[in-house]
Amino acid sequence: MNWLNDNVNLLGLLGAAAIIIITVFVVGKYIKQIKNEKSTGELVGEDWDGIGEYKNPLPIGWSLSFIGTMVWVLWYFLIGYPLGGYSQIGEYNEEVAAYNTKFESKWANPDEQTLLGMGEGVFLVQCAPCHGVTGDGINGKAADMSRWGTELAIVDTIVKGSKGMGYPLGDMPAGMLDKESATAVAAYVFEKIAKAGKSKNSDLVATGEALWPTCAACHGQDGKGMSGSSPNISNYGKPEFVVDVLNHGKKGDIGTMPSFNDGRLTDIQKLAVGKYVNSLIE
């Protein structure tokens, strides 16, 4: 290995040589001065056992930087670091504010694909521990997201009841209708109330409409939940419906879902989760 081929090595060696030469020169100068020169100057008055002291004024530059340091210390102590503005929490707040500004400007007008991607990310972190990575509810440990949002799930809800959303009108008891009527109502709700597309049992829509008053008693004629007294089912199968569940949480028969309105998710993230959950419906 040729040490001198490397530029950094070469520079380092040159620097070392320069330091040695300068050191030898400077030390030599001072040694010579100690040997040959006699000190001169004006003595101050005192004399301690034959030892005196020259009048030796401070260099201007040194005095200025000394005074400057004292001024800086006062500033630092009172206004700068310890007693003044800095705090860890302040730092945190700045970090959050900067992040939120960036988040809002970056995702101000997200397209469908972006929302789905964002929703998937949030779902995997916040929802997957209970609903499973694929959203299948892990063998009945939580709601099955592929069934949720379909007519079948409406039938389930009518037959088994629904509880724990915390609406003023309270829980929905099980067995409001038998399975056949429930299927008809589900078709009606799916097609006419939620306007979620063509029902699989389109022929039952008229029957369902006739049975609708049972539901309308709480959910309102238009299914909108009578201004917050009960869940708005007119947006069933839409992202907004997911957002509603996220905001309320649910203490159902399978288990308890905590609400997500403690600031952990922003509105746009909730909507994104809604979009993603809707994309899981089979």
What Cα–Cα distance (Å) separates residue 61 from each residue in 58, 67, 92? Answer: 8, 10, 41
Query: Under the criterion CB under 8 A, does residue 268 sit at the interface with another protein?
Result: no
- Give the interface size with another protein as a residue count (CB under 8 A): 25
Q: Which is nearer to another protein, 196 or 257 (CB)?
A: 257
* Interacting residue with another protein among 6, 95, 104, 222 (CB under 8 A): 95
The token pair that represents 163 in the structure block: 């509880």
Is 89 an interacting residue with respect to another protein (CB under 8 A)? yes
> What's the min distance (Å) between Cβ of 93 and another protein?
9
Residue with tokens 């030892």: 51
Report CA dihedral (203, 206, 210, 213) to the nearest 10 degrees.
100
147 and 135 in contact (C-beta within 8 Å)?
A: no
Q: Compute the distance between CA of residue 262 and CA of residue 282 in angstroms, rounded to an integer.
A: 31
What does the CA dihedral 200, 206, 212, 214 come to, rounded to 10 degrees? -110
By CB under 8 A, which span of 15-23, 94-102, 169-177, 190-198 interacts with another protein?
Answer: 94-102
CB 276 within 8 A of CB 246: no
**How many Cβ atoms are within 10 Å of 199's Cβ, its own excluded?**
20
Q: How far apart are CB 233 and another protein at their closest, in Å?
A: 25
Only segment of 19-27, 127-135, 144-152, 201-209 that touches another protein (CB under 8 A): 127-135
- Residue from 46, 111, 262, 267 touching another protein (CB under 8 A): that is 262
Nearer to another protein, 9 or 256 (CB): 256
281 binds another protein (CB under 8 A): no
Q: How far is the CB of 114 from another protein (least distance, A)?
A: 19
Of 79, 96, 174, 210, the residue at the interface with another protein (CB under 8 A) is 96
Decide if residue 73 touches another protein (CB under 8 A): no
CA distances from 144 to 86, 89, 141 (A): 49, 41, 9
Q: For residue 133, state whether it binds another protein (rule: CB under 8 A).
A: yes
Across the strands, what pairs with 84? none
Indicate whether 125 belongs to the interface with another protein (CB under 8 A): yes
Q: Is 105 in the site for another protein (CB under 8 A)?
A: no
**Interface residues with another protein (CB under 8 A)?**
82-83, 88-89, 91-92, 95-96, 99, 125-126, 129-130, 132-133, 138-139, 141, 254-258, 262, 264
